[in-house]
Structure 1
Amino acid sequence: MATKTAYPFRVEPQEVDFSLRITLVALGGNILNIAGIDAHTKGFGVDALNKDNFSWVLSRIAFEFDYRPEEYVKYEIATWISDYGRMLSTRNFELTDQTGVCFGRVVSQWCMLDLSKRTAVDLRAVAESHNDAIVECPSPAEKPRKVPAPDAEPVLTHKVAYSDIDFNRHVNTMRYIEMMLDVLPIERFAEERPLRLDINFLKEARYGQTLSVALEERGSQTLVEIRSDAGAALCRGAFEWR
C-alpha cells in the first residue's frame, strides 16, 4: 500500500526576505519541486508523460501556513496523492518543523495536458496504472476554493520573457505568485500571521504576452487577478490573513 513520502529541507539564506523568514515563493517552489520529484520516482513524472506528448499542469492550489520558518531552520515536506477524478488528481502536502509541529498544509489539483492539442486528458484512462500511488489519507486542508474576480483596474504590468517560461512553454507557477505578491503592501510581510492562499489557473500565459495584475481588498480577502494583453483572466488568487 502506498504511503506518504517525506523530504528534508533547510531554510537557506537565499530563500529569506527582510524578515529573515522563508518567502512564500521559496516555500511554494520547494513544494512544487517535491511534486515533480515524487511523481518521477513513482514512474509518472513529466519525463514519462512526455513520451506520449502529455504533461502535468497545475489547475488549482490552496496553501495554509501558520508561520514561515526562519533562516537555517530545518523542516520536512511530506506528500501524497489522495484521489484521481475524471479530470483532476489531488496531491497533498504537510510541512513539519524540526520539533514535529505541522506549520503548513497544501492541497493541489492537477490535470494532464495533451501537449499537441493543449487540452486536458481524461484521467480515467490512466487511473488504473496509478492506483498503487494513491494513499488512503484525506487532504490536510480544505480543497482549493473558486476565487472570485476582483473589480479593479490593473496596478502592474509585466511582459512575459524567457525566464518566466517553464518546461510546458507557459508561465511558471511561481512567477504568477511572484506577480501577485509584488502588488501587495510590503507591510504584509513584516508581520507574521497565519495565511490561506487559494489560486486558480484559468488559461495559459505564453511568451511575449504583456500581462496585467489587478488587486481588490474585499472583506477579509485580498483578491488578485492576472490578465492577458487581451483582458482575459489567466490566474486568480485570494489571500486571507488570519
Structure 2
Amino acid sequence: MGNYRHTQEFKIKYCEVDFKDEIKLSTCLSFMEEVACLSADELGFGYSYVKAKGCAFMVTNIYLEFLKPIRLGEVIKAQTWPLPPSYVVFGREYQFLSQMDDLLMRATSRWCLVDVKTGKLLQSKVIDNQDYSTYNTDKAVENVQWKIPAFERDDGELRFSLKIANSEYDHNMHVNNTRYADYCINCFTLDELKERAIAKFSIAYIKQCREGETLFFYRKKITENEYAVQGFNEKGEKVVQAQIGFDE
C-alpha cells in the first residue's frame, strides 16, 4: 500500500463555482471530504466501520494551496491518501490534478477520532484493522505551519454573522466543516474579491456549532495580501479561526 492514492474525477458544475466561474473554496473542501470518506471506505475504516464502534472521524485542521485556477466545466482528478497516524492525530493528503496531470491544488488535513457519546478523543489503535507501516508517507505539502494568528474581537472588524439552522448540519449532528469556508469568504465583499485570487487557505475547527447558535465572524488584516478570520458564538467562545492568503 506504500503507493496508495484514491482517485476520483469531478466535473465542476454551475453550483460549485463563484461569481467569477472559479471553484468555490467550500467546493474544494467538499471534494476533499468526499474523497477522504471514499478512501476510508476503500481501506476498511470508513463511516460504517467507525459508527459500529460508537465513534466518528472529525477534521480539526485543513491547509491548502492553489497553484492554478479551477474553472467551470473543467474535469479534475482529486487524489487522497492517509498518512501513518500519531497517538491521536490522523493525517491525510490531497492533490487536485487536471486531465493532463497538471497540479492545480494541494492540501493536507488533520483528523481526530471521537467517542460519539462522551466526546473524548480516541487513540489511533482503536482502528484495529490497519497496518500503518505500509502507508504512503508522501507529503502533498511540506513544512505546514498549522498555527493561525489569533486576535481579540476588539482588534478585528465584524464582517458577517448568521444563526445556525438545520441545513448546515451533517450526520455528525453539527455544522459541516465545508460550511465554514463560505462563512470566512463572506467576510469579504464582491469588490474585494473581484480582482484577487485565493492562493492559500488554512482553517482550524475549535468548537462544534449547533442549531440555534448565532455566530459572529471578525476579520483582521495581517499583511497586504493576508487576512485572519475568527468566528465566535454568542458566549464569546472562539469556534473557528482561519487564515486567507491572496495572490500578490
Range into which the TM-score falls when normalised by the shorter chain:
over 0.9
TM-score, normalisation: structure 2? 0.90
- Cross-structure match for 2:115: 114
- Cross-structure match for 2:170: 166
Instruction: Write the mapping of 1:1-242 to structure 2, written as runs, cut at 5 A.
Output: 1-2=1-2, 3-126=4-127, 129-131=130-132, 134-143=135-144, 145-150=146-151, 151-191=155-195, 193=197, 195-219=199-223, 220-242=225-247
Letter in structure 2 aligned against 1:64: E
What RMSD, in angstroms, separates the aligned Cα atoms of the two structures? 1.9
Unaligned runs of 5+ in 1: none
CA–CA distance in 2 between the matches of 1:78 and 1:29?
Answer: 13
CA–CA distance in 1 between the matches of 2:83 and 2:107?
Answer: 12
Number of aligned residue pairs: give it.
242
**CA offsets, 1:124-174, max 9 Å, x none?**
443673527721322334435111223325332211100011111111111
Q: What percentage of aligned pairs have identical amino acids?
A: 20
Does structure 2 conserve the Cα–Cα contact (< 8 Å) formed by 1:76 and 1:97?
yes
Does structure 2 conserve the Cα–Cα contact (< 8 Å) formed by 1:60 and 1:201?
yes
Unaligned runs of 5+ in 2: none
Does structure 2 conserve the Cα–Cα contact (< 8 Å) formed by 1:92 and 1:139?
yes
Letter in structure 2 aligned against 1:136: T
**3-state SS in 1 of match to 2:83:** strand
CA–CA distance in 1 between the matches of 2:98 and 2:194?
Answer: 21
**3-state SS in 1 of match to 2:235:** coil
TM-score, normalisation: structure 1? 0.93
CA–CA distance in 2 between the matches of 1:215 and 1:234?
Answer: 14
**CA offsets, 1:175-211, max 9 Å, x none?**
1111111111223442353511110111111221111
Letter in structure 2 aligned against 1:205: C
